[in-house]
Structure 1
Amino acid sequence: MRTEVVSEPGHEDRPNEDFASVGVPAFGQGGCLVVLDGVTPPRTGTGCLHSVPWFTARLGGALTELTVSCPDLTLPEILARAISGTAEAHKITCDLSHPRTPQATVVLARWSAGTLDYLVLSDSVLLLESPAGEVTAVLDDRLARLPRASLATDALIDAEIRNKEGGFFTAAADPSVAGRAVTGSVPRSGVRALAALTDGAARWVEKFHEGDWTQCVGLLRKEGARALVNRVRSLETADEEERTYLRRSKTHDDATAVFVEP
Structure 2
Amino acid sequence: MPSIEVAERPGVGPDGAVRPSEDVVVVLPNAVVLLDGATSLDPALPSGGWYANRLAHELSGRLVGYPDADLADLLAAAIKALARDQGLVPGESPSSTVALLRWNDTRVEALVLADSPIVAFTTTGTHLVTDNRLASMPRGSGYRDRLASGAGYDDDHLMALRAAATSMSRRRNTEGGFWVAEADPDAAHYAERATWPRADVHTVLMATDGVSCGVDTYHVFPDWTAVRDLALTEGPESVLDAVRTAENNDPNGTRWPRPKPHDDQALALVTFI
Give the alignment's TM-score, normalised by structure 2: 0.84
1:120 is aligned to 112
SS in 2 for 1:34: strand
Question: Which has the larger displacement, 56-65 or 121-130?
Answer: 56-65
The answer on 1:256 being equivalent to 2:256 is no
1:221 is aligned to 232
State the one-letter code of the partner of 1:139.
T
Alignment deviations for residues 118-142 of structure 1 (CA, whole Å, 9 cap, x no partner): 110001110101147x321110111
1:103 is aligned to 95
Q: Structure 2 vs 1, CA of residues 248 and 150 (structure 1 numbering), >3 Å: closer, same or farther? A: closer
Return the alpha-carbon distance in structure 2 between the equivalents of residues 137 and 184 of structure 1: 9
5 Å-filtered alignment, 1:152-191, equals: 153-159=164-170, 161-191=171-201
The answer on 1:64 being equivalent to 2:60 is yes
Return the alpha-carbon distance in structure 1 between the equivalents of residues 121 and 210 of structure 2: 21
Residues 41 and 100, structure 1, Cα contact 8 Å, conserved in 2 = no
The answer on 1:236 being equivalent to 2:247 is yes
The answer on 1:140 being equivalent to 2:131 is yes
Alignment deviations for residues 203-239 of structure 1 (CA, whole Å, 9 cap, x no partner): 2111210221111111111111111111111111011
Return the alpha-carbon distance in structure 1 between the equivalents of residues 201 and 140 of structure 2: 39
Deviation, 1:36, is 0.3
Return the alpha-carbon distance in structure 2 between the equivalents of residues 100 and 214 of structure 1: 39
Name which of 204, 212, 215 aligns with 1:202. Answer: 212
Unaligned stretches of 5+ in structure 2?
143-162
Return the alpha-carbon distance in structure 1 between the equivalents of residues 252 and 234 of structure 2: 28
Return the alpha-carbon distance in structure 2 between the equivalents of residues 75 and 261 of structure 1: 21
Return the alpha-carbon distance in structure 1 between the equivalents of residues 246 and 8 of structure 2: 17
Deviation, 1:38, is 0.3
Q: Structure 2 vs 1, CA of residues 165 and 2 (structure 1 numbering), >3 Å: closer, same or farther? A: same
SS in 2 for 1:148: coil
Deviation, 1:2, is 1.7
The answer on 1:13 being equivalent to 2:5 is no
Report the number of matched residues: 246
Return the alpha-carbon distance in structure 2 between the equivalents of residues 32 and 117 of structure 1: 9
Return the alpha-carbon distance in structure 2 between the equivalents of residues 3 and 242 of structure 1: 33
Unaligned stretches of 5+ in structure 1?
25-30
Return the alpha-carbon distance in structure 1 between the equivalents of residues 106 and 247 of structure 2: 41
Alignment deviations for residues 169-220 of structure 1 (CA, whole Å, 9 cap, x no partner): 1100111111100012111111111110000011211121022111111111
Alpha-carbon RMSD: 1.9
Return the alpha-carbon distance in structure 2 between the equivalents of residues 66 and 243 of structure 1: 44
Return the alpha-carbon distance in structure 2 between the equivalents of residues 242 and 57 of structure 1: 29
Return the alpha-carbon distance in structure 2 between the equivalents of residues 248 and 56 of structure 1: 22
1:35 is aligned to 34
